[in-house]
Amino acid sequence: MTVDIANSEKTSSRIFIICCLALLVTSMTFAIRAGILSQLGQELALTDSQLGWVNAMAFLGFPVAMMIGGALYNILGAKKLLLIAFICHLAGLFLTMSASGFWGLLISTFFIGFANGAVEAGCNPLIAETYPNNKTTMLNRFHVWFPGGIVIGALISKAMTDAGLGWQLQIAVMLIPAFLYGVMTLKQAFPKSIAIKVSTTDNVKALFSPLFIFMAICMTLTTTAELGTQQWIERILGASGASPMLIMALITGLMAVGRYFAGPIIHRLNPVGVLLFSAVVATAGIYAMSIATGSMVYIAAILFAIGVMYFWPTMVGFVAENIPESGALGMSMIGGAGMFALSLWNPVIGSWIDSARAKANAAAVTGVNPELAAGQSVLANLSLFPAALIIAFTFLYIYMKKRNANKEKSSTEAASQLS
């Protein structure tokens, strides 16, 4: 089926802004939730393991929405997916503010996670088809607003916490950009789609290719290394002598700048080279944070930021460019795989903190802060995720180099036969 797309520069620009605003809300939910974990734990008498399950709901709702949205993208289109996201954002935020215990937070956080996943499911393929010759660069530019929103959310959370304002008010702040992107989406005419060359059945078949399965496994590791570390940053670095929310703002601010200027780097190193470089630096960064205290934590955080800044958009861009037959479903499923893995790992990370703290208290070593020991122990565990990626992306680099060489050889032979 072939349909027209109104791809004027003005329309594309407005739609890109709507996508960025929707992603801003997504990232603010992430940052502010990380900033209020201690308040939630104290006011609602929740353990770190229970907080882990609350976090898990955000990362479970995300892949559920991405799987459904990716499968139905050809039918629903990006506008309807963004409206679904808007409704679920409102429901999740209002339910969170009225939550009085563990189960209320669990349900409301799932709604927020579902909304966040619907944003990604609608916006990633929309941007990829709007910029077919510059997919990875534009996806990186779009994803500037994930770390950008975390900077904004982290600074808001810190300022409101320092001012003694409750966590409900911090949640309420996110209603402003949510209403903004919702109203803009309702008023904006969206392009239907570009020519649909591959059916949804073919999209599904592409998900079972060895390359896609390999990338999905890698995505579970990149997402946990990046977001698993950041989501718990207030808990694992709270006793390090540095401000966790300022560290988050520093990390995500650097990520935003790096993603905005990603084009030249990606063209120079190619996506696989970028991923391999990122894995090496991310491993060094997380390990450095696990042994640093005081001002040195900020230096380690800069290293971590450089390592993880290109993970998510480059993984999505790699699938869009190298497994194009997977379509919108492939881009949704690759992100869904990462978030689903994170939903499983969040309770584990929470239990790591509880366990490490109990162990430190039992050891009763003089001069050792149990909270600091617990945070450093968890960071040491998290450094294993990007370390495994160094091996995986080395193999991917060798494979893609051989694959591209074979393609060039085939093209040369075909051209010589024609001449």
Question: What would the pLDDT profile of 296-325 be if each residue is shown by its tens digit?
Answer: 989 999 999 999 998 988 898 899 888 988
Lowest pLDDT segment from 5-9, 33-37, 228-232, 284-288: 5-9
Mean pLDDT of 261-270: 74
CATH assignment of 9-190+197-404, among 1.10.150.130, 1.20.1250.20, 1.10.760.10, 1.20.1090.10: 1.20.1250.20
Is the model's pLDDT at 118 over the cut of 90?
yes
Question: What burial class does residue 302 get, using C-beta atoms within 10 Å of its C-beta: 0-12 exposed, 13-18 middle, 19+ buried?
Answer: middle
Residue 39's identity, in one-letter code, is: Q
For residue 2, name the pLDDT band (cuts at 50, 70, 90).
very low
For residue 167, name the pLDDT band (cuts at 50, 70, 90).
confident
Residue given tokens 């709702």 in the structure block: 61
Cβ atoms of 233 and 34 within 8 Å: the answer is yes
Pick 98 or 408 by higher pLDDT.
Answer: 98
Query: What tens digit of pLDDT does each residue of 46-69 get?
Result: 887 788 888 788 878 888 998 888
Q: How many CA atoms lie within 13 A of 335 on its CB side?
A: 34
Report the pLDDT value the prediction gives residue 411, as an integer from 0 to 100.
67
Residue given tokens 């968890």 in the structure block: 378
Report the pLDDT value the prediction gives residue 186, as an integer from 0 to 100.
93
Report the pLDDT value the prediction gives residue 140, as an integer from 0 to 100.
76
Query: If you average pLDDT over every residue of the chain, what do you get?
Result: 85
* Measured distance CA(161)–CA(163) in Å, rounded: 5
Q: Alpha helices, DSSP H only, in 309-326?
A: 311-322
Chain center to CA of 362: 36
Report the pLDDT value the prediction gives residue 1, as an integer from 0 to 100.
36
Is the model's pLDDT at 193 over the cut of 80?
no
For residue 267, name the pLDDT band (cuts at 50, 70, 90).
low
Query: What tens digit of pLDDT does each residue of 339-383 get?
Result: 889 888 888 888 888 888 888 888 766 666 788 888 888 899 999
Report the pLDDT value the prediction gives residue 364, as an integer from 0 to 100.
65
Cβ atoms of 371 and 241 within 8 Å: the answer is no
Mean pLDDT of 183-193: 83
Is the model's pLDDT at 113 over the cut of 80?
yes
Give domain limits for the chain: 9-190+197-404
